[in-house]
């Protein structure tokens, strides 16, 4: 019984070139997840975040976020509407770095609010859950 008859979608015989292998891998990935070819865009209120381009727009104007700010923001986007604990954010954004502390979160959330929120002192979307963590609030 051949590989294709056994359920394989494709196969290569030896010897094969690296270019052909990589091309077949790209085809397999497109077939495995057709949505991956689309550019994921997150839109909320005045915000438009193009995750593929790593671009953040507020009312159509591009806002520069540092790599840590961007990582924190996209982590909240991936968990939109849910409370994300301090520990979880530290692990996902800082990779569980030994020196990372909840104080870091406070500093970076303040910076994000100043860059993204209309009224940073009264955030509409980047909300604090006292003693627990943060939530990206999504309007119903």
Q: Write out pLDDT tens, residues 52-88.
A: 999 999 999 999 999 999 999 999 999 999 999 998 9
Q: Are residues 16 and 61 in the same domain?
A: no
* Rounded Cα gap, residues 93 and 71, in angstroms: 6
Q: What angle do CA 68, 70, 71 make, to 5 degrees?
A: 65
Q: Is the pLDDT of residue 123 over 50?
A: yes
Q: Are residues 94 and 31 in the same domain?
A: no
Q: The domain containing residue 27 runs over which residues? A: 1-38
In this predicted model, what pLDDT tens digit does every residue of 1-35 receive, in sequence order? Answer: 566 566 666 777 788 777 777 767 776 776 665 55
Q: Are residues 57 and 124 in the same domain?
A: yes
First to last CA, the chain: 55
Q: Are residues 53 and 32 in the same domain?
A: no
Q: Is the pLDDT of residue 96 over 90?
A: no
Q: If DSSP states are collapsed to H, E and C, what string results for 24-69?
A: HHHHHHHHHCHHHHCCCEEEECCEEEECCCCEEEECCEECCCCHHH
The CATH number covering residue 116 comes to 1.10.10.10
* Rounded Cα gap, residues 76 and 15, in angstroms: 46
Which one, of 50, 66, 45, lies nearest residue 115 by Cα? 66
Q: What angle do CA 7, 11, 14 make, to 5 degrees?
A: 145
Cα 40 to the chain's mean position, in Å?
Answer: 10
Q: Is the pLDDT of residue 89 over 70?
A: yes
Q: Is the pLDDT of residue 45 over 70?
A: yes
Which one, of 44, 30, 33, lies nearest residue 135 by Cα? 44
- Total number of domains constituting the chain: 2
Who has greater pLDDT, 98 or 111? 111
**Percentage with pLDDT > 90 across the chain:** 56
133: tokens are 């963590």
Q: Are residues 114 and 47 in the same domain?
A: yes
Q: Is the pLDDT of residue 114 over 80?
A: yes
């Amino acid at each position: 019984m051949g590989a294709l008859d056994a359920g394989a979608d494709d196969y290569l015989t030896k010897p094969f070139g690296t270019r052909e292998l990589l091309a077949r891998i790209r085809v397999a990935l497109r077939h495995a997840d057709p949505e991956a070819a689309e550019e994921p865009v997150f839109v909320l209120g005045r915000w438009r975040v193009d995750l593929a381009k790593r671009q953040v727009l507020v009312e159509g104007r591009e806002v520069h976020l540092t790599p840590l700010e961007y990582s924190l923001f996209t982590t909240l986007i991936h968990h939109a509407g849910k409370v994300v604990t301090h520990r979880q954010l530290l692990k996902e954004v800082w990779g569980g770095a030994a020196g990372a502390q909840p104080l870091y979160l406070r500093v970076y959330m303040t910076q994000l609010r100043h860059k993204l929120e209309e009224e940073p002192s009264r955030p509409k979307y980047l909300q604090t859950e006292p003693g627990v963590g943060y939530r990206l609030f999504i309007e119903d």
